[in-house]
Chain A
C-alpha cells in the first residue's frame, strides 16, 4: 500500500492549517453529524445570501482525512451558488464512491482531487464524506427554512 497516495501533501496541509475553521454567525442552518463507527464529529453551518452560500463554518474532531476534507469543502463551496455547490458535492461523492477508478475533474474539484486516493480505502471514505454529508443536510435545511419564510 502506498501511504503517500492517501496522505497527499495537500491533505496534510489542510489538516495542519485548516481553512475557515470555527463556527460563525449569522447562519441559516446548523447541523451536527457523527460517524458512529469512529466517533468523528462535525458541526457545520451555512449562511446564505440569496442563491449564494456566503459562508460555510465548521468545527469538529476527527482524523486528518475528515478534518482536511472539511477545510477543502470550505474553500470550494464558500461564495458559490447553491446549485453549483451541489454539483461539486455530487462530483466529490462520486469520486469517493469510485473505489479509486474515477479520474477526478480538477476544474470542478480543485484541491479535493487529492482525495482520489482515499477512495481506495473503504474504511476511510466515510471520514472524507462526513463534512460533505453535513453540507448537504445544512443546505437542504437552510433552503427549506427560507421557503417557509417567504
Chain B
C-alpha cells in the first residue's frame, strides 16, 4: 500500500467534516426492520428518504399539541400553528441561503413547484419575461425527470413556443458543446436538473448561468436530488428559481418548495386560486397577495411543513458539508465494489467526482425487474425501471435500469449486501 502525504497547508484528509453513521442510524427507527428475513438495506433514498425520529416526533407533536389552521385565526392554537408553519419557512430559507423567507413558496412537492413556474408563463403575461409565443424557446435537458419535461411540453402546446434540450455525453455528463447555439436570444427560460436522479451527475452550472444572463433568459434548477445531499446557496448559484421536495430530505411527503427571487415571484400571476392568496375578492375581480401567499391557495400542508423544518434542523446539525462528504466516500466505495461484479455496466460518471450518491446500472442479460426482485428477497431495496426519466433510457438504448441510491444513514455494509445480492441474481439467472 502506498501512503499519500498531503503537503502541510493543504486541506488534510482528517479535516473533512464527518459524523458517526451508527449514531445517525439510531435516529431512524425503520432501519431496524427486517425484510424477507434479512436485515433491511434501504438503497432507494433517491426515491424517497427515510425519516428520523426527530421529524416523526415533530409532526406528532404538532398534531398532539398545536393543531389549528394557519393565517386565519386569532386564537392561541391558530397563532402557534402559524408560528410553526412560518418558522419552517424561515428555516428552509436559511438552509438554502435565500435572502428572505418570502422567497420560499410551499408546494405539495417538486413537481408542483416546477408546474407553478411553467404556469407563470403565458401568451398574455403582463411581464415580458414571462410572455411566451411562437418563436420563443424553452431549454431543458435529456437528463430531466419527467416532472421537468412535461410541464414545459404542456406550456409549449399552450403558447406555440419551442422546447429544446441539452444532450448527454457518453460518460453521462451534460453536453454543453452547443451551449451558445442552444441558449440564445429566443430563449425565455432554461430549466435543468442540478443532480440527475438516474445518472447521479451533478451539473456544473456556471457556464450555463453566464450564457443565460448574456441572453437575458431565466434559469431554473430542479434541485430535488441536490438540496438533500449538497450544501446549497441560491445567491451563490445566481439562479432564478429552484424546486425541491421534502420527502427526499428526511421530511414527510406532501411538502415541496419553490424558491424564486422575490421580484420574479411577485411578477408572476397566481397558479391556483382560492383562499389565503387574495388581497380582496369582488365578484367582478380579485387582487392577489404578494408571494409566497399568492401561490399558497387553500389550507397548506402545515404538519408537513413543520416536519420539513425539523428535517432541515436535523441536516443542519449534522452539516451539509459532512453529508456531502459521506456521500462522496460511500460513492467511491460503491463504484469500486460494483466494478468487481461481472457484466455490470454503470450509466453515469464512473468516478466519484461531479456526481452524487446515486448509481444506476445494468447486469448484462438480466432485466432490472428481476434484479430488483432477487435483491428484495435478500432485504436489499433498490429501484428498477425508467425512473421517471425515460429520455435517459432512450439516450443509452436501455429499456430500464437498476438504481442504488444512498443517504447519510447508508453504510458500506449495505453496499456489500448489494454486491453480494448481485452475485445471487447472477446465479438465479445464469
Give the B-binding residues of A (Cβ under 8 A).
1, 3, 6-7, 12, 37-41, 61-67, 121, 124, 127
Contact = CB atoms under 8 A, between A and B. Distances in A.
Nearest to B35: A1
B73 interface: no
A36 B186 CA distance: 34
A14 B429 CA distance: 12
Given A37-B385, A39-B385, A65 B369 contact: yes
Interface string B396-430: 00011000000000000000000000000000110
21 contacts: A1-B376, A3-B373, A7-B370, A7-B428, A37-B385, A38-B369, A38-B384, A38-B385, A38-B386, A39-B386, A39-B393, A41-B399, A61-B399, A62-B399, A63-B367, A63-B369, A64-B367, A64-B370, A65-B369, A124-B369, A124-B373
A3 B374 contact: yes
A89 B369 CA distance: 24
Interface in B319-374: 367-370, 373-374
B390 interface: yes
A6 B386 contact: no
Contacts of B393: 39
B44 to A, nearest CB: 13
B369 A62 contact: yes
Given A1-B377, A3-B377, A41-B399, A63 B368 contact: yes
Contact of A38 (B37, B400, B428): B400
Given A1-B37, A39-B399, 7 more contacts: A3-B373, A38-B369, A40-B400, A63-B368, A63-B370, A64-B429, A65-B369
A95 B351 CA distance: 47
B36 interface: yes
B78 to A, nearest CB: 42
Nearest to A64: B370
Nearest to A61: B399
A67 B384 CA distance: 17
